Amino acid sequence: MARKKFSLSTTQIVLLSFLITIFAGSILLALPISAADGTPAPYIDALFTATTATCVTGLVTVPTVSTWSTFGHVVILLLIQIGGLGIVTIMSGVMMLLNRKMGIGDRLLIQDAFNLNTMSGLGKFIKNVLSGTLAMELAGALLYMTVFVPEFGLRGIWISVFNSVSAFCNAGIDIIGSNSLCNYATHPLINLTTCLLIILGGLGYIVWWDVLRVLQTRTRRNHKFFRHLTLHSKIAITATIVLIFSGALAMLLLEYNNPLSIGNMSLFDKIQVAFFQSVTTRTAGFASIPQENLTTAGALTSLILMFIGGSPVGTAGGVKTVTVITLLCSALATIRGRKYASLFHRTVSVASIRKAVAVVSAFMAILLTSTILLATCTDAPALDILYESVSATATVGLSRNLTATLNMWGKLVIIVTMYLGRVGPISLAVALGSKSESQNLVSDPPEEICIG
């Protein structure tokens, strides 16, 4: 009897590549050369830092600026860039630089890594992703330099590059100080640059190229720009705008008189800090105000924004805007007694709705498990524990000052949560699934059940 050949699915390869990158990064960070004082950091902290960088989360157990050396900072930055773009993207880019053609296996990897529906034009897609990312990060770094170089001298160049990559990849890790961007809470240029990088990274690459396609193909006489976008882009852009501005308004109203957050600021500063909080909760993780100083209502609003996150096929985490809107649209159609859900005069496919349900279900399972396990590892307030768990699952990086106080078991819980949150609940489900579609051609007879 012939022995069955062992092979990994494309999704399993993507999951495994993240694990390998995390462990390779942790080994490098555990070396004496990575430590600022030459004393090797505890491996659990090295592993935690490698995970939070690769999973572009931003939660840290030790101060990034003072714990790690320049070499350590370079390792962290590389992990952030790899995690933001994806290992498959970087390897595909290297192959193209070496003039190697992509085989069907390579194309399947790219398709799974970016959750694309087609394999056509993948080479061009990868080139656009790499060039677009480099252009955005370079522009962000140049803008940061106008502030950081006068303040830090030549070191400001490195800080600007690091911050730009971290912001675009929605990582939220910085090497400025131990309190994130709190010292620049009311600095308009820092706020605007960081917000733009976060939003562009979180919108997703598909939206970028769809917008460019419409701009290039529309004539000057035809001003109906939005109409010619794909349904995916329409949902992602609309949801992003609504969430950012509604979130900013909510934070402004809820924190307006809170002296611990924005209560003592001028109206203009209150507006820009509230706007920044709304944007950074979309899985970026930079903090311009201490999260533990938020009111309970403000913290709960931030939890909702973190849960939703950014848009698919980008650098952001969370269940994603398109997923949430798809579920809301489906629920509304059911309430209205309609057979099909529709958005922008387009019918949302049943497959998309099922996938949205699967993503949210898996996300909630990870979140609830993480919250319960974390509660057994610390006696912190319930809100702080929930904030930490949502932040880790949605790869946000905001914390109510809990991460640094976790014991080893608490750190391990967050490490696993960040990994599962980054690789994606649906990817994990597909990778661990043992049945193929061919095994499910015959379905069981249907029967009505009571819901609600």
pTM above 0.85, yes or no: yes
| Average pLDDT of the residues in 79-100 | 71
User: Residue 442: pLDDT band by 50, 70, 90 thresholds?
Assistant: low
pLDDT score at 350: 87
Residue 435: pLDDT band (50, 70, 90) is: very low
How far apart CA 319 and CA 310 sit, in angstroms, is: 8
Q: Does 290 have pLDDT greater than 60?
A: yes
Local confidence band at 438 (pLDDT 50, 70, 90 cut-offs) = very low
Q: Torsions phi, psi of 343, nearest 5?
A: -140, 135
C-alpha–C-alpha distance, residues 55 and 95, integer Å: 24
Q: What is the pLDDT of residues 186-205, one digit of tens each?
A: 999 999 999 999 999 888 88
pLDDT-based confidence at residue 44 (cuts at 50, 70, 90): very high
In this structure, how many other beta carbons lie within 10 angstroms of the beta carbon of residue 52? 33
Query: What whole-number distance in Å separates Cα of residue 51 and Cα of residue 75?
Result: 12
Q: What is the pLDDT of residue 207?
A: 87
pLDDT of residue 298: 95
pLDDT in the model for residue 152 = 94
Mean pLDDT value across residues 279-286? 89
At 103-139, the pLDDT tens digits run 655 565 565 556 555 556 667 777 778 888 899 999 9
pLDDT above 70 (res 369): yes
Q: What proportion of the chain, given as a percentage, has pLDDT over 70?
A: 82
Kindly state the average pLDDT of the residues 293-315: 91
Cβ atoms 307, 319 nearer than 8 A: yes
Indicate whether 102 pLDDT > 70: no
